[in-house]
Amino acid sequence: MTPMGWEALRQWGQDVARIEPLAGGVANDVWSVRINGYLAVGRLGKRSDADLAWETDLLKYLDREGLTVPVPIPTTDGRLFADGMVVMTYVEGGPPKSEADWRRVADALRRVHRLTQRWPQRPGWRSSTDLLHADTGTKIDLKAMPSEGVARCRSAWAHLVGRQTCVVHGNPDSPANIRMTADRVALIDWDEAHVDVPDLDLVLPHNAAGLEEDAYDIAAQAWSAWAAAVCWEDEYAIKRLAEVRAV
């Protein structure tokens, strides 16, 4: 089948148009779009249908449970994605600016964690502790990393063995992934979400999640190891690996 690209947007109706590209689309092409007169967000990528079904089901569930997230907008025939494209509601708001703002973000993340403790793993993904024994999972390929770096990452992840798992957002420390107003916190860009140990989501500015010193250190080491592995070997990944202590 020939990839449709942005022509797939026509499956959301006749009154649709792309407006402008949005920041943050590394693995995907992300644009603001207008559908039937309303502002929305379109994301085009190469995820499998199983992967997109996992993400869209999660977002609908979190919305039903009262969290503010981008909600998938169905095609004219009721599908939540089509040909690698997802269209979602546009979420207004600004980034967190203060320690109090980040504490509100931590509260929102903990709600996600409580609500998803029995959620299945995203198809094709691995958790950090799975990678103690596996070499690959979605964008991670430990065989591409230097063996000494892999040993450091696995040493950091080993401290998470036996912990309760749940859905983690995967990149909540980026202010661009938060949309705040006076009365709510919205978490956007769930492209990196998967099932893992919740502490990976709680390495926030100002230690806003209030982790004890040892717990914060373990979480920070595990998060830096994950960030290095998931986008090896760009400049950001090399910087994150440098934060992971030698074995």
pLDDT tens string, the chain, 247 residues long: the values are 345 799 999 999 999 999 999 975 567 899 999 999 999 999 999 999 999 999 999 999 999 999 999 999 999 999 999 999 999 999 999 999 999 999 999 999 999 999 999 999 999 999 999 999 999 998 899 999 999 999 999 999 999 999 999 999 999 999 999 999 999 999 999 999 999 999 999 999 999 999 999 999 999 999 999 999 998 989 999 999 999 999 8
Give the model's pLDDT for residue 72. Answer: 98
Domain containing 78 equals 5-89
DSSP summary character for residue 83: T
Same domain for 237 and 164: yes
Where does a domain end: 38, 54, 89?
Answer: 89
Contact 108, 169 (CB under 8 A): no
Contact 116, 197 (CB under 8 A): no
Q: What is the CATH number for 151? A: 3.90.1200
Give the model's pLDDT for residue 26. Answer: 62
Any residues with CB less than 8 A from the CB of 105 and at least 6 apart, and which?
A: 96, 172, 178, 180, 185, 187, 204, 208
Dmax over CA atoms of the chain, in Å, equals 58
Placement of tokens 């990149």 in the chain: 171
Q: What is the pTM of this model?
A: 0.94
Give the model's pLDDT for residue 233. Answer: 86
The two structure tokens encoding residue 112 = 């996600």
Give the model's pLDDT for residue 3. Answer: 54
Interstrand relation of 184-187 and 178-181 (parallel, antiparallel or unpaired) = antiparallel
Q: Is residue 184 part of a domain?
A: yes
Same domain for 224 and 198: yes
Q: Is residue 53 part of a domain?
A: yes
Same domain for 85 and 65: yes
- Beta pairing partners, 87: 42
Strand residues in 52-142 grouped as ranges (E)? 85-89, 136-137, 140-141
DSSP summary character for residue 21: E
Give the model's pLDDT for residue 2. Answer: 41
Any residues with CB less than 8 A from the CB of 175 and at least 6 apart, and which?
A: 95, 96
C-alpha separations of 32 from 38, 42, 80, 87 in Å: 10, 6, 17, 9
Q: Is residue 94 part of a domain?
A: no
DSSP summary character for residue 131: G
